[in-house]
């Protein structure tokens, strides 16, 4: 599901320097804007993101933050309307179900007000201990062929329409064991693109994604693996390298972590039995 292309990038003026000369020119730059997430009208977090699929992003973000546990915890997610009745596309308000609304005071009191940058999915956490999740290891036993893993970057690249224009957007996609692309999203942040996909699955009632592979552009960081764990994704692949913390978490979480997927080669860092050579 593609976002409105006009929201993904904008035309900007620049000075282009070539061979010692300079000229004025136009180019396209990836859009980055703040999205304020409110709970029952109260500010909760600010996420730097590429506009589009904001409701899904909010849902995926709140799931990753363990603010909600299931789709039924949410009654509605909608953009705020200003005094004139116009939509404020940079603010979404989340209303909990009656049964989950009792958690609201605790969630708001315990939240450190902070801006979550597009490069950081954990900036709102209050301590190292809060990074740990009470989620059991994934036990999926299905396998994927090595040749299928090798094709994933190219298949993900086909979904990156805005990257063709700007070169400044990351992408995340979920694939079937046979390599079929099931969903994809672009954003200035890798983890934010993952939140949009997970949030869409949450709202569609298709979590856990236990029969899917997650493929991300760039590196595999701790927060990417953690979001995959919550979403039930047993295989995570990335174009670039994983961090040590991502490897350690993947090992504990029962996730097959794959990095440096380029050409016909890649590295499997954890739970390699799921990859058939």
Q: What is the pLDDT of residues 34-54, one digit of tens each?
A: 999 999 999 999 999 999 999
CB 239 within 8 Å of CB 221: no
Helix, strand, or coil (residue 104): helix
Count CB-CB contacts under 10 A for residue 210.
13
Quote the pLDDT of residue 136.
92
Q: What is the pLDDT of residues 150-201, one digit of tens each?
A: 999 999 998 877 555 555 688 999 999 999 999 999 998 889 999 999 999 9
Rounded to whole angstroms, the Cα distance separating 10 from 161 reads: 14
Model confidence band, residue 8 (pLDDT cutoffs 50, 70, 90): confident
123 carries an active-site annotation: no
Residues 6 or more apart in contact with residue 180 via CB below 8 angstroms: none
Residues 6 or more apart in contact with residue 165 via CB below 8 angstroms: 5, 8, 9, 28
Helix, strand, or coil (residue 59): helix
Average predicted confidence (pLDDT) for the chain = 87
Domains for the chain: give ranges and CATH numbers: 33-122 (3.10.20.10), 144-276 (3.40.140.10)
Q: What is the pLDDT of residues 195-253, one digit of tens each?
A: 999 999 999 999 999 999 999 998 899 999 999 999 999 999 999 999 999 999 999 99
Q: Which two tokens stand for residue 245?
A: 């913390």
Angle, alpha carbons 6-7-13 (nearest 5°): 75
Quote the pLDDT of residue 114.
45
Residues 121-147 have a mean pLDDT of 72
Instruction: Please tell me which residue in 120, 203, 211, 241 is annotated as part of the active site.
Output: 120
Judge whether residue 129 has pLDDT over 70: no
Confidence (pTM):
0.86
Judge whether residue 128 has pLDDT over 50: no
Quote the pLDDT of residue 5.
57
């Amino acid at each position: 599901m593609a976002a409105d292309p006009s929201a993904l990038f904008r035309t900007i003026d620049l000075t282009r320097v070539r061979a010692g000369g300079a000229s004025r020119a136009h180019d396209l730059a990836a859009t980055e804007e703040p999205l304020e997430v409110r709970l029952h009208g109260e500010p909760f977090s600010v996420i730097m993101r590429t506009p589009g699929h904001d409701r899904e992003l909010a849902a995926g973000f709140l799931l990753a933050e363990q603010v909600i546990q299931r789709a039924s915890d949410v009654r509605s997610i909608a953009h705020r309307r200003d005094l004139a009745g116009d939509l404020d596309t940079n603010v979404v308000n989340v209303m909990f179900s009656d049964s989950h609304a009792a958690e609201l005071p605790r969630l708001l009191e315990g939240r450190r007000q902070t801006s979550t940058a597009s490069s950081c999915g954990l900036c709102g956490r209050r301590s190292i201990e809060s990074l740990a999740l009470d989620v059991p290891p994934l036990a999926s036993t299905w396998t994927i062929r090595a040749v299928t893993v090798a094709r994933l970057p190219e298949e993900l690249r086909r979904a990156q329409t805005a990257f063709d224009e700007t070169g400044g957007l990351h992408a995340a996609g979920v694939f079937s064991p046979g390599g079929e692309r099931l969903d994809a999203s672009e954003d200035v942040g890798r983890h934010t693109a993952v939140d949009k996909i997970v949030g869409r699955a949450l709202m569609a009632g298709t979590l856990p994604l236990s029969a899917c592979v997650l493929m991300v552009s760039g590196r595999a960081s701790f927060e990417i693996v953690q979001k995959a764990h919550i979403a039930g994704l047993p295989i995570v692949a990335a174009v670039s390298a994983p961090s040590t913390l991502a490897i350690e978490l993947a090992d504990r979480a029962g996730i097959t972590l794959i990095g440096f997927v380029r050409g016909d080669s890649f590295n499997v860092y954890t739970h390699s039995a799921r990859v058939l050579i």
